[in-house]
Amino acid sequence: MPISVGDKIPDVTIKTIGPDGPEDISTSGIFSGKRVVLFGVPGAFTPGCSNTHMPGFVVKADKVLEKVDTLACMAVNDAFVMRAWQKDQNAQAILMLADGNAELTRALGMEKDASAACMGIRSLRFALIAEDGVVSYVGIDTERGVVDKSSVDTILQHLPS
């Protein structure tokens, strides 16, 4: 079951990229005492993620960050890929989270099996808002190529003004 409104973000350690390479980062450190927007994508550099989903958040990152402490993107990729994608997308305002083993993805109930396309376990396309680690909004897009419930515009509609 995917995480729902009212659920607490599970405490999982994943990776981000630091100045000296991959670094551990815990979800408790990301979410505790903060308002956070997290969006998950099936994969860095994939067409829908690179052409639609990420660009929306890049263009409106300043509007989101006026209302939250952290804007983060997660994918089942390694930290080096996430850093390269961050640079490619000009997404420096977004905290890039590498869930290479899909541990957070599974803990959130957001995994999908893309083995038929030789892509293994991936994340569903989703976005959520959490206040001090408790989910206040979650939107999951299940139709291929559709970015609606997880779009930056939808997230902005669900953030307090």
146: left (phi over 0), alpha (psi -120 to 50) or beta: beta
Contact 96, 82 (CB under 8 A): yes
Which is catalytic among the residues 14, 30, 44, 49? 49
- Single-letter amino acid code for the residue at 103: E
The Cα–Cα gap between 62 and 70 comes to 11
- DSSP codes joined into one string, 141-156: E-STT--STTSHHHHH
Residue 118 annotated to the active site: no
Tell me which residues are annotated as active site.
49
